[in-house]
Amino acid sequence: MPRAEAVKLVADLLKLQDPDKAHTLLTRLLISLIILFAGPVYMLFFGVLAAVAIYLVGVELMGLDLRWMYAPIVIATLFGLKDAASLLADYWRNYGHG
């Protein structure tokens, strides 16, 4: 699961930091990149599962246009980006200041 791996990676990275000092710019950028990558990938997994369900039920059984299959992927990616942006703002606002 990408989110669990991202949390472990961030925890390992933060073990190297002194808890009494502010995070370095490099640490903040690395954690930000991990957050921006893990959120959309995690949600994209569920979008692909929904796309498969729409393909099997909607396209094959009900004869819908194939473009309907892309809707859950786009929606899941947007929700993943929204979640990542929220987590990123929370990290930059509340953590790593020493």
Could you read off the pLDDT of 5-16 as tens digits, one per residue? 777 877 787 777
**What is the distance, to the nearest Å, from the Cα of residue 21 to the centroid of all Cα atoms in its chain?**
28
- pLDDT higher than 90, residue 4: no
Task: Quote the pLDDT of residue 96.
Answer: 65
Q: Between residues 38 and 96, which one has the greater pLDDT?
A: 38
Q: Is residue 18 part of a domain?
A: no
Q: Are 13 and 81 in contact, with CB atoms under 8 Å apart?
A: no
Q: Are 13 and 31 in contact, with CB atoms under 8 Å apart?
A: yes
Q: Is residue 17 part of a domain?
A: no
SS3 96: coil
**What is the distance, to the nearest Å, from the Cα of residue 64 to the centroid of all Cα atoms in its chain?**
30
Q: What domain count does the chain have?
A: 1
- Express each pLDDT in 29-72 by its tens digit: 888 898 888 888 989 999 999 999 999 998 888 888 888 889 99
Q: Is residue 61 part of a domain?
A: yes
Q: Is residue 58 part of a domain?
A: yes
Q: Are 72 and 47 in contact, with CB atoms under 8 Å apart?
A: yes
Distances (CA, A) of 85 to 12, 28, 91: 22, 14, 10
Task: Quote the pLDDT of residue 5.
Answer: 76
Q: Is residue 69 part of a domain?
A: yes
pTM of the complete model beyond 0.85: no
Task: Quote the pLDDT of residue 27.
Answer: 82
| Structural domain span for residue 80 | 2-11+23-94
Q: Is residue 36 part of a domain?
A: yes
Q: Is residue 35 part of a domain?
A: yes
Q: Between residues 91 and 11, which one has the greater pLDDT?
A: 91
Q: Is residue 66 part of a domain?
A: yes
